[in-house]
């Protein structure tokens, strides 16, 4: 009888909670689909498609446009991409994340009194990566010239009607922007007036950036005149940015404002192509970037969740939410301790972390009576035939984060002890914390009838951005994702030439060997939380791609923040905190409260997810774009 009642309740949860009518219509296309964070940027992608470009060409055009429109990123930021190549039938990973510059050492930041590298300004900057990533993708897998692909972005730089969201961000942040003369010049054209930033609808011009893009196109066109191949000519533009006059001005402008980046840093850096990581979930191959991103935690989560009958639990039932929350507790704990740049020692135990038997062991830790407030990193080393070299650090770390330990704080690094202990009276809904948790970027998704599929999650150089000299290029703020103490993560301690472990996490999925889904989302540490739920919405609960982008997700705060804050307490996990949609029923809320969850409520909790579903049955493309922000798509 109890089993019958449970099944009846699960069915009710699925029927009542699953969204049917969406606020945005699904997008349909036969030939191509372009989805990204700004309507004008999606239009840029459509322009390239209409000129005969493939999905890589269109994705590069959208990337360039979003950087130019400051869609919470700039040209000086970083780019992470997954590309499905229909010619080889393989998924390609593009790593265009910048690195810590010369002089960016633990001692340097600690001597300045930092507990983490700073959030903003020239000392927050890794080397710029987006230009290199765009050039690499376009040269190897696109079909068009850089001149063609940058044309929409150059038109935007010459002047476009700025939208309220970006213009108001400039105005809100004008005090900080005035600290950097090149930023003030660009973002505050009405200096001295009551409103110094542009107004919504005003034509916003970026002459310096236009000059930088023009120089890159000139380098490409000169290369073609000198009988270079298309690929060589595009990389000549890349060379001018990283080794030529653009690089010199970037470095000069950075140093003038206190930055560390050198000409050698730029010349040595390059975007690289690498093997993605993947796992199989019920016959679907899901691909993510390597452990220099948080992406593998989604793969770990799927490995754990395949040990449960999620569909029987019912969409967003208390048991379903609890199971996913506990899974994320475990995978975030692993992410926060074991992930880092694989090009630097120590070597991350990624094979063990993605091992299915390891996932079964982690799944066995999940119980249904209450939230595990002390979920901690596991030990993946035995699944690689090795012994964990960090058991002592883990003991100290677990002592620090153990909420039942009255001597909490004894294991805190000495420079943090005075301000870092957990505080029972800390507000769990403070705006500064939520800003750091949700700190966003954009996503770019593109697909075409030839089978090219692209998913990009670029970022960096968001407002308030420090512009490097007369380049018009806003510098990255990704240094803040490093740590200064091995106590937190021995794999992610800052070091010159090293990439920080980032939150940026595009996704591709294949079914029956063919592209199935391309999806991405902005939102800092919430990205893989929302992408996991989006994916399960489709494969477990049969939602359409648009329904899945709008569906009510939950978010957990039981994780170490990757962005922001100046002291340990700003980033430490907040056990049991959960964000639920305002559509969540009282009965679900009450059940979760009984398990120890601390609930806050939001109106739109899906995150601004962008996605493309490749409908092999009908030979068509479905586009989905969340109702959460300005994200938009166009198909044909």
Q: What is the dihedral of CA 432, 501, 545, 512, to 10 degrees?
A: -170
Beta-carbon contacts of residue 631 (< 8 Å; ≥ 6 apart): 35, 36, 37, 38, 442, 443, 608, 609, 610, 625
Q: From residue 359, how far is each of 223, 332, 379, 628 by CA, in Å?
A: 52, 13, 11, 33
- pLDDT for the residue 479: 98
Composition of the chain by helix, strand, coil, percent to 5? 40, 15, 45
Distance CA 169, CA 479 (A): 22
Q: Taking 60 as the threshold, does the pLDDT of residue 14 lie above it?
A: no
Range 177-201 average pLDDT: 98
Q: Which DSSP letter does residue 453 get?
A: E
Range 389-409 average pLDDT: 74
Mean pLDDT score of the chain: 92
Ramachandran class of 610: left when φ > 0, alpha when ψ lies in -120 to 50, beta otherwise: beta
Which of 139, 150, 94 lies closest to 235 in space, CA to CA? 139
Helix (H) or strand (E) holding 240: helix 230-243
Range 339-362 average pLDDT: 98
Q: Taking 60 as the threshold, does the pLDDT of residue 563 lie above it?
A: yes
Burial track 319-337 (b if 16+ CB lie within 10 A, e otherwise): bbbbbbbbbbbbbbbbbbb
How many contiguous H segments (helices) and E segments (strands) does the chain have? 24, 19
Distance CA 303, CA 312 (A): 18
Range 361-387 average pLDDT: 97
Range 76-93 average pLDDT: 98
Q: Taking 90 as the threshold, does the pLDDT of residue 567 lie above it?
A: no
Centroid of chain to Cα 191? 34
For the whole prediction, is pTM greater than 0.85? Answer: yes
Paired sense of beta strands 444-448 and 32-36, if any = antiparallel
- pLDDT for the residue 403: 67
Q: Do the beta carbons of residue 215 and residue 471 sit within 8 Å?
A: no
pLDDT in tens, 493-539: 999 999 999 999 999 999 999 999 999 998 899 999 999 999 999 99
Using 50, 70 and 90 to split pLDDT, how confident is the model at 463?
very high
Distance CA 556, CA 577 (A): 6
pLDDT in tens, 410-444: 333 332 222 222 233 334 457 777 776 666 789 99
Distance CA 434, CA 337 (A): 22
Using 50, 70 and 90 to split pLDDT, how confident is the model at 606?
confident
Tokens 């409103």 locate to: 195
Residue 169's SS3 state is: helix
- pLDDT for the residue 400: 73
Max avg pLDDT among 214-218, 522-526, 624-628 = 214-218
- pLDDT for the residue 144: 98
311's tokens: 């569909």
Range 82-97 average pLDDT: 98
Least reliable range by pLDDT among 291-295, 383-387, 602-606: 602-606
């Amino acid at each position: 009888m109890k089993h019958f009642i449970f099944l009846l309740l699960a069915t009710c949860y699925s029927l009542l909670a699953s969204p049917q009518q969406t606020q945005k219509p699904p997008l349909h296309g036969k030939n191509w689909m372009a989805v990204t964070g700004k309507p004008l940027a999606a239009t840029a992608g459509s322009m390239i498609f209409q000129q005969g470009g493939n999905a890589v060409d269109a994705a590069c055009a959208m990337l360039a446009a979003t950087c130019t429109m400051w869609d919470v990123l700039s040209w000086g930021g970083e780019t992470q991409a997954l590309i499905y190549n229909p010619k080889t039938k393989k998924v390609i990973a593009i790593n265009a994340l910048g690195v810590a510059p010369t002089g960016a050492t633990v001692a340097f930041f600690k001597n300045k009194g930092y507990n983490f590298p700073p959030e903003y300004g020239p000392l927050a900057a890794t080397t710029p990566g987006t230009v290199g990533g765009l050039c690499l993708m376009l040269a190897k897998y696109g079909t068009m010239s850089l001149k063609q692909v940058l044309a929409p972005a150059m038109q935007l730089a010459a002047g476009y009607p700025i939208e309220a969201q970006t213009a108001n961000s400039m105005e809100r942040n004008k005090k900080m922007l005035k600290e950097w003369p090149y930023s003030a010049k660009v973002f505050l054209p009405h200096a001295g007036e009551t409103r110094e930033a542009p107004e919504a609808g005003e034509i916003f011009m970026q002459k310096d950036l236009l000059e930088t893009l023009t120089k890159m196109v000139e380098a490409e066109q000169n290369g073609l005149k000198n009988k270079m191949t298309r690929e060589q000519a595009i990389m000549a533009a890349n060379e001018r940015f990283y080794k030529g006059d653009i690089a010199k001005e970037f470095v000069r402008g950075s140093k003038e404002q206190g930055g560390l980046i050198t000409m050698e840093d730029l010349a040595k850096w390059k975007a690289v192509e690498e093997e993605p990581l993947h796992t199989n979930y019920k016959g679907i191959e899901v691909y993510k970037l390597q452990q220099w991103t948080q992406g593998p935690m989604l793969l770990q989560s799927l490995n754990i969740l395949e040990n449960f009958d999620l569909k029987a639990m019912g969409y967003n039932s208390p048991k379903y939410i609890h199971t996913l929350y506990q899974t994320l507790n475990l995978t975030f704990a692993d992410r926060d301790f074991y992930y880092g740049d694989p090009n630097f020692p120590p070597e991350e135990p990624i094979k063990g972390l993605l091992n299915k038997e390891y996932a079964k062991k982690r799944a066995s830790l999940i119980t249904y009576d209450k939230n595990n407030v002390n979920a901690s990193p596991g030990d993946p080393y035995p699944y690689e035939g090795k012994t964990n070299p960090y058991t002592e650090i883990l003991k100290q770390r677990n002592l620090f984060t153990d909420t039942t330990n009255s001597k909490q704080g004894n294991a805190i690094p000495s420079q943090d002890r005075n301000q870092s202990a957990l505080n029972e009276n800390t507000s769990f809904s403070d705006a500064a914390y939520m800003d750091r948790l949700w700190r966003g970027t954009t996503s770019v998704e593109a697909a075409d009838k030839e089978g090219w599929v692209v998913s990009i999650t670029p970022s960096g150089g968001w407002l308030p951005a420090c512009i490097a000299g007369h380049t018009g290029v806003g510098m990255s703020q990704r240094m803040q994702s490093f740590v200064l103490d091995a106590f937190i993560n021995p794999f992610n301690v800052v070091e010159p030439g090293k990439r920080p472990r980032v939150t940026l996490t595009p996704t591709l999925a294949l079914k029956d060997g063919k592209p199935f889904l391309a999806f991405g989302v902005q939102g800092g540490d919430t990205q893989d939380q929302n992408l996991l739920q989006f994916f399960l919405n489709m494969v477990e609960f049969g939602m359409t791609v648009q329904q899945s982008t709008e569906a009510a997700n939950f978010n957990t705060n039981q994780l170490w923040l990757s962005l922001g804050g100046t002291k340990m307490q700003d980033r430490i996990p907040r056990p049991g905190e959960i964000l639920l949609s305002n559509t969540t029923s009282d009965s679900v809320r009450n059940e979760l409260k009984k398990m120890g969850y601390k609930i806050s409520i939001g109106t739109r909790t899906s995150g601004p997810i962008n996605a493309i579903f490749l409908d092999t049955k009908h030979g068509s493309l479905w586009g989905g774009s969340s109702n959460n922000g300005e994200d938009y798509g166009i198909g044909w």
